A = this chain, B = another copy of it.
Amino acid sequence: MAETGKRGSPTAAQANEGTLITRGERKQRTRTTLLDAALKLMSEGRSFTSLGLREVTREAGLVPTSFYRHFRDMDELGLALVEEGGLTLRRLLRDARKVGVPAEDIIRGSVRIYLAYVREHHLQFGFIVGERLGGSPAIRRAIRLEVTHVTNEMAQDIQHLRLLNRELSTSTLQMICGLVVSTMLNAAGDILDLPAQQPKQEQELLEHYVRQLRLIFLGATQWREKT
């Protein structure tokens, strides 16, 4: 139980980076190598359903049959990608919660931060946005679930932070947040399609979505629940 107590004969596994690693760690490492390979291939303008098992393992620097050590088939890998992407989405909300809302212009500040976050995780967002309405039913369902969760969390946050200075039924709040989330996912799709770094077009895009969000929240402040 002394965890490689002898330290004799450094294996290839240990030699890599000089860090000792257990078998499980190593397995998870190549697992994420596969996931990253799939994301990278998709980032070159392909849809997930068009990816082949061999293609992915090749990109990952593995032999095709190694794939089965990690996933039963491509669909299972896809679901893993959805889970990863869901984590990224939730982390976004969590960070926003921690940092608090930008002081001066709440909406513009939030959109700016959001777009930067999307850029930073463009592979995950590319996958989520691209497959949300496009790919296989199983993956689409899984993404829809993640997006619903995020929407609910956002609704809770808005309620707790009293971000709208008024009371709205939770169902109305969810309806509003659903609109916000859809709009922001559209925004993600748009920046990721922007060729290279075009600060001009990027600015226009920012303003566009700032205005759309303003409109939504303006509607929210005026909303009357029908009795």
Which residues from chain A sit less than 8 Å from chain B, CB to CB? 45-50, 129-137, 140-141, 144, 172, 175-176, 178-179, 182-183, 186, 189, 193, 208, 211-212, 214-220, 222-223
Q: Is the CB of A223 within 8 A of B212?
A: no
Q: Is the CB of B175 within 8 A of A212?
A: yes
A188 to chain B, nearest CB (A): 9
A145 to chain B, nearest CB (A): 12
Residues of B within 8 A of A220 (CB): 215, 219
A139 to chain B, nearest CB (A): 10
Q: Is the CB of B46 within 8 A of A189?
A: no
Known: A47-B47, A49-B49. A133 touches B130 (CB 8 A): yes
Q: Is the CB of A215 within 8 A of B216?
A: yes
Q: Is the CB of B211 within 8 A of A172?
A: yes
- How many copies of this chain sit in the oligomeric assembly? 2
Cross-interface CB contact of A47 among B135, B179, B214, B222, cutoff 8 Å? B135
Q: How far is the CA of A86 from the CA of B216 in the complex (A)?
A: 28
With A178-B208, A215-B216, A215-B219 already in contact, 12 other A-B pairs whose C-beta atoms are closer than 8 Å: A45-B136, A45-B137, A46-B136, A133-B189, A134-B135, A175-B208, A176-B215, A178-B212, A182-B186, A216-B216, A219-B219, A222-B222
Residues of B within 8 A of A132 (CB): 133
Residues of B within 8 A of A131 (CB): 134
Known: A133-B132, A189-B133, A208-B175. A48 touches B47 (CB 8 A): yes
Cross-interface CB contact of A212 among B46, B47, B179, B189, cutoff 8 Å? B179
Question: Nearest residue in B to A52 (C-beta to C-beta)?
Answer: B50
Q: How far is the CA of A214 from the CA of B179 in the complex (A)?
A: 12
Q: Is the CB of A193 within 8 A of B140?
A: yes
Question: Nearest residue in B to A189 (C-beta to C-beta)?
Answer: B133
Known: A49-B49, A172-B211. A134 touches B136 (CB 8 A): no
Residues of B within 8 A of A218 (CB): 218-219, 222-223
Residues of B within 8 A of A135 (CB): 47, 134
